[in-house]
Amino acid sequence: MFCATVVWDEEAAGVKNVRLALGNAFLHVYDQPPKGVRDGPVHHLGIETDDLDELVSRMEEQGFHFRNPVRDELKFRYVMIAGPDDLLIELFQCREPDRWQLKEL
């Protein structure tokens, strides 16, 4: 229906993850039950960067506070921060941009 293509399907951070390419956008879903009660169906919003350390450093200099230090996984690195209405925002850096079909701008 949406002509989605699976570009990544495996376990990461302890749960099954599937990344779908939809044109020039991606949808990333994972199999993890909610850890707490929240309004709405969205657990978090993920934003990819090519230099996570530099982004985190710049944001900390501007007064942002992260929920945890940068976490290193085999395929990616990530950190979480609370966004508007406490929606989690995941900032991540992929270690396999070709496999995830990420394009350089």
Rounded mean pLDDT of 63-70?
Answer: 93
Q: Which of 26-30, 81-85, 93-97 has the lowest mean pLDDT?
A: 26-30
DSSP β-bridge partners for residue 47: 91
What domains are there in the chain, each with its CATH number?
5-33+41-94 (3.30.720.110)
Three-state SS at 3? coil
DSSP β-bridge partners for residue 20: 6, 27
Residue 21 CB contacts under 8 Å (≥ 6 apart), including other chains: 4, 5, 7, 101
pLDDT higher than 60, residue 49? yes
pLDDT higher than 50, residue 1? no
For 14-41, the pLDDT digits (tens) are 888 888 887 667 777 777 766 666 666 6
Q: Could you tell me if 79 and 88 are in contact, meaning their C-beta atoms sit under 8 angstroms apart?
A: no
Rounded mean pLDDT of 40-55?
Answer: 82
Three-state SS at 63? coil
Q: Could you tell me if 96 and 2 are in contact, meaning their C-beta atoms sit under 8 angstroms apart?
A: no
For 50-61, the pLDDT digits (tens) are 899 999 999 999
- Nearest-angstrom CA–CA distance, 52 and 35: 25
Higher pLDDT, 99 or 88: 88
